[in-house]
Amino acid sequence: MTHSSHVFPTQQRLLVLGGGRGGTAMLELFQGDPLVEIVGVMDTNPQAPAMTLAAQHGVMCFTDLTQAIEACRPCMAFNLTGDEAVSTFAQDRLGTANVIGGFQAHFLWNLLTRLKQTNDQITHLAYHDALTGLPNRILFYDRLGQAIARARRAQEAFAVL
């Protein structure tokens, strides 16, 4: 077993508390991330934006905090509600180390947002010319490969002009 498998043996299970802009952004940020699995979203408003998005992605949605914690355990809770009472309640059930809220949530959120922006910039630079910003050869070959694969699956003719 390698050292990295000791550090991250499995995905980190994350329960998002708060279904507003922060919860929605959290879902978008970690969608498809190999290290984080969002196992649930909780908001008292069942029509909150993150609740709708979570349902579309097959993530469990809750309007009751106790039910959310019990169904998603073991997990780490990320409190984006701004309500310290929510953090206290979750800490009583999950332990202090498993709940991120208040200043810590704000600080981590800023770090994660910057990391995501940096990764997006790196990806953009990998596929675009640094001087002109135009798509480069790597992006062309990537899209060409996708088009060829799509044509093969559909058993359709394909041409490059």
pLDDT tens-place string over residues 11-60: 899 999 999 988 998 998 888 888 899 999 999 999 999 999 999 999 99
Closest to 95 measured CA to CA, from 65, 75, 118, 72: 75
We find that the CATH architecture of domain 3-117 is 3-Layer(aba) Sandwich (3.40)
CA-CA-CA-CA torsion sign (13, 80, 124, 4): negative
Q: What is the pLDDT of residues 125-139, one digit of tens each?
A: 999 998 999 999 999
Rg (CA), the chain: 20
Whether residue 4 has pLDDT greater than 80: no
pTM of the model: 0.70
CA dihedral angle for residue 104, residue 105, residue 108, residue 111, rounded to 10 degrees = -120
Whether residue 105 has pLDDT greater than 90: no
Phi and psi of 78, rounded to 5°? Answer: -115, 105
